[in-house]
Structure 1
Amino acid sequence: MTHRRPSRSIVALVCAQWLLASSAASAQAVWPEPRPDLPPVPQARSYPNFQAPSATHCARPVGTREVPGGSEADGQARRGRHDDLARAAPERSARAEERLRDAAPSAGTARALPPPPAMAAPMPAPAAPHAQLEAAPQRHPGPRPSHEPVTAGVVDDNADFTSYLAFRERTQVPHRPRDVRERYLLEVRDARGRPVGDAEVAVEAPTGYAMWARTDTGGRAWLHPDAFDASGSGRYDVVVRKDGRQAWGRLARGQKSAVEVMLDTAPAPARARLDLVFLIDATGSMADEIDKLKATLRTITAEVAGLPSRPDICLGLVAYRDRGDAFLLRSHDFSNDVAGFLQHALYPLRAGGGGDYAEAMNEALHETVHQLSWRGSGTTRMVILLADAPPHLDYGAPHYDEDMLAALGKGIKIFGVGASGLDRQGEFIQRQMAQYTGGKFVFLTYAQAERPGSGPGRETVHDVRNYSVDTLDRLVVRLVTEELAKGEGRGR
């Protein structure tokens, strides 16, 4: 018995009917807006700001925006909290004491400054960067050469989600809870089956609870209903839009297949666009990691710029310390001037301050997600978060979990990099942000896991399995390459 393939005309007819049905449904779909009147999920305060990225370029000089760290009394207060923590958690106390010793020379020199404002006006790029803020040299020739490579491993918690849920279950640490145990994959493609990257996504329950996301270059996004919906709805409307066109789909609880939405859009630009931010803990214990980053970033940017897609690169930097330090955060908006970025943003950065274990990561993440000039449609957006401590959970807003939701809504993937000394709480929170936004968890590795001074190697203290190891610069280039490659062929 022979089987005849359906003719092309029949296939074309089916596709046309599918497109018409999708268009008809999308005409009824309404883009949801935040509902501040609804009771939020546990611990949430409000809907994050999901305003879409809209910058058109990054052809600007390297500028600086700084928020001061407050008064010395703030530093004394948090050192008092550290003493309480020491009595409650001896293991964590030992690591915090080490950080205190590292930070001692600069902690005592913090200037008495007024409390940090909610916003600070942008400052133009100074001729001699930050000379008035720290005793930094007038010129920054770059880092001293390092003959020892920095090795790191990486795990993808979305690829091995069962193991990630097991890690969450056995890791009982303070954090901002968002329930991600139930998740669904959304795939957006055009009529030819090609992925539609950077499409805006809204998912709304009949009760009004909603979430927002943007697809990656592969046209995919992970949806976690229980992370935003306090009503536990059984179904959701999914609206997708890009370039003035809109389509509609439906998510039902318990469905096994991916949510598939077809959206016919204009071809993607031939040249990829990449917005890459380095979000760095700049407290005293991070001196070694910052020096290593300085030594490798020039190589990273050169290799990324030399990829076959020749991406149009914008670089940004947000460094943070803590209350009572010389600055709470110091940010440099996106610029395509790579040499200027290295000279005026990265090379002047020095580690200092600190005093207790947790740092002002919440404030820095909020700055990164909401204050930088992320470019609009068709951009790959990545954050490399390098830190050896968790955020303060006792400072009040902003909260990292709300900003990780906003990051997904803006299409920003967070890649956490666990530096030496990062404890289990810090690992949990970095992996939480990476998994939700579609990023990965990176961690430095050593010859002996418990001794960062033992040199590069394959060992780590982190709770990870089946990881690959490479030098940090090659690993970052690989992560960027993988993100850009997901959309290859989209514009053909």
Structure 2
Amino acid sequence: MTQAFVPRFRRPLVVLLCAQLLLAACGATEPPAVAGATRWPTPAPDSRLQVAQTVPNFEAPSATHCARPVQTYETPGMARVARDRRELADTDAMKDYSLRRPGSPSVSAAKSMPAPAAEPLASASAIAEAAAPAAPAAPRISGGLQPPAQAPRPANEPVTAGMVDDNADFSEYLAFRGRTQVVHRERDISARYLLQVRDARGAVVPDAEVAVQAANGAAMWARTDAGGRAWLHPNAFDKAQSPVYEVTVRRNGRQSTAFLQRGQKNAVDVVLDGKPGTAPARARLDLVFLIDATGSMDDEIAKLKTTLRTIADQVARLPSRPDTCFGLVAYRDRSDEFLVRRHDFTNDLNAFQGVLDALRAAGGGDYPEAMNEALNETVHKMSWRGNGTTRLVVLLADAPPHLDYGGPQYDDDMVAALGKGIKVLSVGASGLDKQGEYIQRQIAQYTGGRFVFLTYKEATNPASGPGTQTVHDVGNYSVQTLDKLIVRLVSEELGKLPAGG
């Protein structure tokens, strides 16, 4: 298994300090690489208490294929746990009653009887939910107010959406952050540099591993996208704001090092030494739908069910003929039947369509949902394929995450997603408030993705039908149907791959 890596952070600090002095004296932007041994540590959990993070908080993607049946895993919610406890209590009561009837076996004999095998939790709940009718939408509460009830839209009505690229218009994104005061997890992205990796022939190098390290030991990790690029945000991992960073890049046994000096030109170019590797005959795409499955998402889930086949067929016909793996992660909240239900990657589209068709929108209650937990499982527990894969997540949600639960936090996992080369396309559904928009755009921008938002004929009235208007704080966007927009974004990403891959 390939591991995410750490460059030579144990060399004496004088090396980088001397590099800094050379930069100041000569005006150079990239001091020469310094020879030394590379250490390949075992990844360890991230700790927000550490002054400097010197090992990644993730394991590198390493799966080799997705030719497998759908495998489902479930984290139960409190509703499921409470029901199981009631059923267990009822079973114990009936057993106790039967043991007291004349002719019944003794208590000691009953206790020695083997217990029946338990049915897998995920399978049982999935079957039960699939058989049940869709539950009515639960009320959504934001700021103590409930939004007015909305009539369901016609089944054949298209869903329209717009899109903004906050990395392409970064100054406007910073202005949006400055004027939007909401509760969130802060990562300072005000200092930003574009890393571009090419080989000796000038061809882009996709899915190259990147490690960026300061002299104080603070470090971050990334993987280049299909165009050989990655956005680096030094302040997001180094509060000391070191003047110089070592940037180490590797791919398929080749490795090169460059230096990033704070305040230099925005781009960092790295040429990967050695003979270029052979590009795969087909592009490889891992595509996950990460979906808020609470009651208010009924319309969006229904539309995704009817358009998945169209999306898959159009992706399959792209010029790169991608070998595509599909995954689904659905989430609700702690009080619901399940917290997170995860369906690992498969290339069996019919089976994948089946698990999507079985998904029902239900539960919720309060406004925030378990997005933190679901994003954590998406990044860390899905069987992402290894070198040479394009990895995308389509996050479809109409509410922000609970920030009061503790446990996983979305900013830690968006950092890990960048390290694993996972881009998030955040899709804001109807009812998404300012906090939800802010957080979805944080995740998309940091991972190199886009923010997508549903549009309507009347911005504040989703029941008004498809149109070009939105309540979100965006500008300069075009509108397409949601399925075509998703295919467009996938196509643009795969279109960046070098010839042959």
TM range (shorter): 0.7 to 0.9
Distance in 1 between the 2:477 and 2:360 partners? 31
Specify whether residues 391 and 349 from structure 1 end up closer, same or farther in structure 2 by C-alpha distance, changes over 3 A only. Answer: same
TM-score by length of 1: 0.80
Matched, 1:178 2:178: no
Q: 1:113 to 1:408 in 2, by over 3 A?
A: farther
Residue identity opposite 1:416 in structure 2 = S
2:66 alignment partner, one of 58, 71, 90: 58
CA distance in 2, matches of 1:411, 1:37: 17
Distance 2:297 2:307 in 1: 16
Q: 1:283–1:36: structure 2 CA closer, same or farther, 3 Å change rule?
A: closer
- Residue 404 of structure 1 corresponds to which residue in structure 2? 414
> For residues 124 and 309 of structure 1, what CA distance do their matches in structure 2 show?
39
Matched pairs, number? 418
The aligned counterpart of 1:465 is 475
Deviations 1:350-405 (A, max 9, x none): 00010100000000000000000000000000000000000000000200000000
Cα-to-partner distance string for 1:298-317 (whole Å, 9 max, x where unaligned) = 10001001111110000000
Could you say which residue in structure 2 is the equivalent of 1:211?
220
Partner of 1:363: 373
Mark the CA change 1:35 to 1:277 in structure 2 (over 3 Å): closer, same or farther.
closer
Give TM-score scaled by structure 2 length. Answer: 0.78
Which residue does 1:162 correspond to in 2? 171
Q: Distance in 1 between matches of 2:210 and 2:287?
A: 22
| Structure 2 counterpart of 1:287, from 298, 301, 312 | 298
Please state if 1:130 is matched with 2:111: no
Shift of 1:267: 2.6
1:122–1:200 CA distance, 2 compared to 1 (3 A): farther
Distance 2:74 2:486 in 1: 27
Q: Which runs of structure 2 are paired with 1:379-458 in the superposition (5 Å)?
A: 379-458=389-468
Alpha-carbon distance between aligned partners in 2 of 1:414 and 1:122, rounded to the nearest angstrom: 35
1:153 and 2:150 are equivalent in the alignment:
no
Q: 1:129 to 1:360 in 2, by over 3 A?
A: closer
Q: Kindly provide the CA deviation profile for residues 193-230 of structure 1, in whole angstroms up to 9, marking residues without a partner as x.
A: 00000000000000000000000011000000000112
Post-superposition shift, 1:60?
0.4
Contact 2:45 2:56 in 1 (8 A): no
Aligned ranges 1:209-288 → 2 under 5 Å: 209-263=218-272, 264=274, 265-288=276-299
Q: What's the secondary structure of 2:242's corresponding residue?
A: coil
Q: Counterparts of 1:180 and 1:135 in 2: how far apart (Å)? A: 46
Distance 2:468 2:457 in 1: 6
8 Å contact from structure 1 (residues 63, 124) kept in 2: no
CA drift at 1:112 = 5.9
How far apart, in 2, do the equivalents of 1:60 and 1:122 lie?
Answer: 22
Per-residue CA distance 1:326-362 (angstroms, 9 max, x = gap): 000101000000111001x100000001010000000
Letter in 1 for 2:476: N
> What letter corresponds to residue 211 of structure 1 in structure 2?
M
Residues 46 and 57, structure 2, Cα contact 8 Å, conserved in 1: no
Separation in 2, partners of 1:183, 1:123 = 47
- The structural deviation recorded for 1:146 is 3.4
C-alpha displacement of 1:111 = 3.5
Q: What are the ranges of 5 or more consecutive residues in structure 1 without an aligned counterpart?
A: 1-21, 75-109, 115-120, 138-143
Instruction: Determine if the alignment matches structure 1 residue 69 to structure 2 residue 65.
Output: no
Structure 2 letter corresponding to 1:352: A
Change (3 A) 1:357 1:197: same
Q: What is the aligned-residue RMSD (CA, Å)?
A: 2.8
SS of 2:378 mapped into structure 1: helix
* 1:36 positional shift: 8.1
Is 1:146–1:295's contact at 8 Å kept on the other side of the alignment?
Answer: no
Secondary structure of the residue aligned to 1:366 is helix
**Residue matched to 1:299:** 310
Q: Tell me the distance in 1 between the aligned counterparts of 2:211 and 2:241.
A: 17
User: Hey, what does 1:315 align to over in structure 2?
Assistant: 326
Give the partner amino acid of 2:68.
R
CA contact (8 A) 2:164 2:452 kept: yes
Offset of residue 50 of structure 1: 2.4
Which protein has the larger Cα radius of gyration, Structure 1 or Structure 2?
A: 2
The 3 A distance-change label for structure 1 pair 113 and 221 is farther
User: SS at the partner of 1:132?
Assistant: helix
CA 1:45–1:429 in 2, change beyond 3 Å: closer, same or farther? farther
Deviation at 1:422, TM superposition (A): 0.1
% identical aligned pairs: 67
Q: Which amino acid aligns with 2:237?
A: F
Counterpart residue type for residue 127 of structure 2: A
Change (3 A) 1:368 1:192: same
Equivalent residue for 1:331, pick from 342, 348, 359: 342
Aligned partner of residue 212 in structure 1, secondary structure: strand
When residues 473 and 71 of structure 1 are mapped into structure 2, their CA distance, relative to the original with a 3 A threshold, is closer
Q: Any residues of structure 2 matched to 1:15-164 within 5 Å, and which?
A: 25=33, 27-28=35-36, 30=38, 40=49, 49-71=57-79, 111=83, 130-133=126-129, 135-136=131-132, 146-164=155-173
Matched residues in 2 for 1:314 and 1:353: separation?
Answer: 29
Distance 1:39 1:452, change over 3 A: closer
Distance 1:133 1:150, change over 3 A: closer
SS, match of residue 280 in structure 1:
strand
Change (3 A) 1:38 1:291: closer
Secondary structure in 2 aligned to 1:328? Answer: strand
